[in-house]
């Protein structure tokens, strides 16, 4: 087995730079025209206080109501 020949090395730095440039072009094409406004609205939505646990439309409330109906029906059946 021969030693490592530096002439056989593949230089991928150019390929990596080209890939990065392509990714940058794709990112620029997909960004909204008003990207600052979109960013501000996304940040404002994240900072909005969370809904109460039993607020209307909450999954927890829906689960509790469904369970209450099921529990009541089960008790009526058993009695």
CB-based burial label for 61 (10 Å; 0-12, 13-18, 19+): middle
The residue count for the chain: 79
pTM, two decimals, is: 0.36
Find the largest Cα–Cα distance for the chain: 87
* Segment 26-74, tens digit of pLDDT: 988 888 788 889 889 999 988 888 777 777 777 888 899 999 999 999 9
Torsion angle, alpha carbons of 63, 66, 71, 72, to 10: 140
What is the structure's pLDDT at 6?
A: 64
CA 9, distance to chain mean position in Å, is 39
What is the structure's pLDDT at 69?
A: 95
What is the structure's pLDDT at 55?
A: 74
* 19/29: higher pLDDT: 19
């Amino acid at each position: 087995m021969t030693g490592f020949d530096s002439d056989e090395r593949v230089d991928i730095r150019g390929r990596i730079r080209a890939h990065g440039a392509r990714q940058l072009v794709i990112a620029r094409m997909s960004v909204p025209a008003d990207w600052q406004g979109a960013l501000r609205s996304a940040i404002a939505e994240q900072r909005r206080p969370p809904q109460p646990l039993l607020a209307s439309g909450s999954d927890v409330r829906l689960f509790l109501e469904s369970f209450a109906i099921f529990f009541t029906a089960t008790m009526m059946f058993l009695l």
